[in-house]
Amino acid sequence: MQSTMAAQPPVGLKLGLDTYVMRPFGWKAFELLDYAARVRLDAVQLGSSDLESQDPAYLKKVREHAERLEISIDAAIGGVCPTSSMWVPSNGDPTTYLLLGLRQAHALGSTNLHVYLGGGSERTGPIPLEKHIEETVKSLRSVRSQSMDLNVKIAVENHGDLQAWEMKALVEEAGKEFVGVCLDSGNSVAVIEDPMLSLEMLGLYVLTTHIRDSVVYEVPSGIAYQWVALGDGSIDFQTFFRRYRELCPQASVQLEILTGSPPRIVPYTEADFWKAYPKARAHEFARFVALAKKGHPFMGSMLIAPRGSTSPAYAAAVKEQRRVDVERSFDYASNVLGIGLRRRAKTG
């Protein structure tokens, strides 16, 4: 017997931009918000470097401008682990830095604050990864009461440092009542993980995101990956966002499209490679291998920025490529994946 129930429309998701990708343009908060409005976005993630001041009056103006444009803000700062290679000593101490970020987020009207532990070098450096995790948990716990009083949760990004199971343990150890995740689908690939697995494991903790596509494919020495515009890669985002709508529909889909880099090699056939992953789970890595077996190299055209190049013409070309790839990713998100409240309203 055929069901007479009407099909439920997909849950609406906010489409946004991690403003980090627009740094080649040198824009600050007001320009970034105006750009987001022009391309009909619902949200942005603003970092501290996007702000011209920490003065409360200035932050109030930024928030009011965003509200006039009907754009929500997710706030962001940087690393909060004092033992990591990415810690910036001039930030003072982690507690002071986190409190500054929490106040900034609250002033901007954000309910979350993006942070991270470190980067890929934390997996093989002289300090054990477990020590970095311990120090990050300590930093986060030091501002628990202020985070909860301000109603701003802290979103820790998988920043090429932690696999999903390690991130889940960090959040639960710190306190899931005030700590969650900024899920970066490109960085999942960087730590030999299928982004779908990352979503399944972390989805209930996701507060905000960095979403980008990757080609993932086999090469003689192992697996290669390269970040590409949305829809150009190996990731099945149709399936990804069906599950996303079930697990974390409140989290903005902040695109972080980082084209212009060459493929990176995961030489997993070499014994030394596994020194970075002594506790890797075989069944999870098998999913990454399966993703690679279905993939192939990027077949489109992409200008690769040469390391150390100072050519103004090259820099201008790479900058324009970034804009084009960002905007066609917005189009793919809205037209193919059905993401973006304002974009869907425009075409619906």
CA distances from 153 to 6, 227, 235, 264, 347 (A): 37, 29, 29, 33, 34
Q: How many domains does the chain have?
A: 1
pLDDT of residue 8: 65
Q: Is residue 219 part of a domain?
A: yes
Asked whether the predicted pLDDT for residue 85 surpasses 50, the reply is yes
Q: Is residue 162 part of a domain?
A: yes
For 124, the domain range is 15-347
pLDDT of residue 229: 98
**pLDDT band at residue 347 under the 50/70/90 scheme:** low
Residues 94/132, Cβ–Cβ less than 8 Å = no
Residues 248/201, Cβ–Cβ less than 8 Å = no
Taking only the tens place, the pLDDT of each residue in 293-316 is 999 999 999 998 777 777 888 889
Q: What is the mean pLDDT of residues 272-277?
A: 97
Nearest Cα to Cα of residue 253 among 322, 162, 166, 334: 334
Q: What is the mean pLDDT of residues 78-87?
A: 98
pLDDT of residue 309: 73
Q: Is residue 259 part of a domain?
A: yes
**pLDDT band at residue 157 under the 50/70/90 scheme:** very high
Taking only the tens place, the pLDDT of each residue in 226-264 is 999 999 999 999 999 999 999 999 999 999 999 999 999
pLDDT of residue 308: 76
Across the beta sheet with 253-255, the strand order is 206-210, 179-184, 153-157, 112-116, 72-79, 43-47, 15-18, 253-255
CB 343: neighbour CB atoms within 10 A? Answer: 20
pLDDT of residue 305: 74
Asked whether the predicted pLDDT for residue 203 surpasses 70, the reply is yes
Q: Which two tokens stand for residue 270?
A: 């070499």
Measured in Å, how far apart are the chain's first and last C-alpha atoms? 32
pLDDT of residue 345: 82
Higher pLDDT residue, 286 or 346? 286
Q: What is the mean pLDDT of residues 63-89?
A: 98
> Kind of pairing, strands 153-157 and 264-266?
unpaired
Q: Is residue 267 part of a domain?
A: yes
Least confident of 149-153, 273-277, 302-306: 302-306
> Distance (Å, rounded) from C-alpha 14 to C-alpha 249?
9
**Its pTM surpasses 0.75:** yes
* % of the chain surpassing 90 pLDDT: 92
pLDDT of residue 344: 84
Taking only the tens place, the pLDDT of each residue in 95-126 is 999 999 999 999 999 999 999 999 999 999 99
> Distance (Å, rounded) from C-alpha 280 to C-alpha 166?
10
Asked whether the predicted pLDDT for residue 6 surpasses 80, the reply is no
Q: Residue 44: which CATH number?
A: 3.20.20.150
Asked whether the predicted pLDDT for residue 1 surpasses 50, the reply is no
pLDDT of residue 131: 98
Residues 202/301, Cβ–Cβ less than 8 Å = no
**pLDDT band at residue 5 under the 50/70/90 scheme:** low
Q: Is residue 275 part of a domain?
A: yes
Q: Is residue 58 part of a domain?
A: yes
Q: Is residue 1 part of a domain?
A: no
Nearest Cα to Cα of residue 134 among 181, 203, 84: 84
Q: What's the sign of the alpha-carbon dihedral 104, 105, 108, 109?
A: negative
Q: Is residue 325 part of a domain?
A: yes
What is the residue whose two structure tokens read 């820790």? 156
